[in-house]
Amino acid sequence: MEEKQNFTVSVYTENNVGILNRLSAIFLKRHINIESMTVSKSEIEDVHRFTFVVIVTKTLIRKVVGQLEKQIEVIRAFYHTEDEIIYHETALFKISSKHLYDETIQNKMKFRRAHIISITENYFVIEASGLKEDIDNMYEKLKPYGLLQFVRSGRIAITRPKMAISELLLEIN
């Protein structure tokens, strides 16, 4: 049985209404759960970039990426394994102000890429970024203080191999 693993799928698309629906439909029809998703502009003017994380086999991701790429408004789609990318996630933790001067919190933050981005009378907000495991770790450590709110972003990733989108567009245009 072929093993499932994390794949980061980067999809470069036109910037039009409804593309997300079209892309998510491809995952849906194969019953694949999307672990994380981020949409942003890309390095190319007018071109958007979707970053999906899914846990599937290599055989399956190849087929899925083929079907993603087949969509009319998709310029190119790529898939990468964990060691082919540099990736990051961001999280925000909202905590009651009574813990603000708690040394244990201060210590925990020192060793992570985390800092306080807002302080009010009632609460303060910590922003942390890093790998998924880093955020998970931080979450476990801050949980005992009582999280008023917690949110994390989808993965953003830069690939080590080249994705020749600009050249491709140049050729087409």
Partner 1 sequence: MKETLTIKSQIKDNETTERISGSEAVIKCLLAEDVDILYGYPGGAIMPVYDELYKYQDKIHHVLARHEQGATHAAQGFARISGRVGVCIATSGPGATNLITGIADAQIDSTPMVCITGQVGSHLLGSDAFQETDIIGISTPVTKWNYQITKASEIPEIMAKAFYIAKSGRPGPVLVDITKDAQFEEFDFTYKKCTKVRSYKAVPETDSSMVKKAAELINAAKKPMIVWGQGVILGGAEKELKAVIEKAGIPSAWTILGASAIPTAHPLNIGMVGMHGNYAPNKLTNECDVLIAIGMRFDDRVTGNLETYAKQAKVIHFEIDPAEIDKNVKTDVAVLGDSKESLTQLLPLLNKNKHSEWHQEFKDLYAIEYDEVIKNDLHPTKEGLTMGEVLKEINKQTDGEAAIVTDVGQHQMIACRYAEFKNTRSNITSGGLGTMGFGLPAAIGAKMATPEREVISISGDGGYQMTIQELGTIFQQKAAVKVVVLNNDFLGMVRQWQQLFFDKRYASTEMINPNFVAIAEGYYIKARKVTKREELADAVKEMIESKEAYFLEVCVEKEDNVFPMIPTGACVSDIRLK
Residues in contact with partner 1 by CB under 8 A are 13-14, 17-18, 21-22, 25, 28-29, 62-63, 66-67, 69-70, 72-75, 169, 172-173
Q: How far is the CB of 163 from partner 1 (least distance, A)?
A: 15
Nearest to partner 1 of 14, 43 (CB atom)? 14
For the record, the structure tokens of 142 come out as: 């801050």
Instruction: HSE, CB side, 13 Å, CA atoms: give it for residue 71.
Output: 24
Residue 51's contacts (CB-CB under 8 Å, 6 or more residues apart) are 8, 9, 10, 11, 36, 37, 38, 39, 40, 154, 155, 156, 157
For the record, the structure tokens of 68 come out as: 């993603």
Q: Note whether 107 and 70 are within 8 A (CB).
A: no
Q: How far is the CB of 40 from partner 1 (least distance, A)?
A: 18
Nearest to partner 1 of 58, 115 (CB atom)? 58
Q: How far is the CB of 34 from partner 1 (least distance, A)?
A: 16
Nearest to partner 1 of 14, 102 (CB atom)? 14
Q: How far is the CB of 75 from partner 1 (least distance, A)?
A: 4
Nearest to partner 1 of 32, 147 (CB atom)? 32
Nearest to partner 1 of 62, 160 (CB atom)? 62
Q: How far is the CB of 59 from partner 1 (least distance, A)?
A: 9
| CA 91 to centroid of chain Cα atoms | 11
> What is the rounded CA–CA span in Å between residue 103 and residue 87?
30
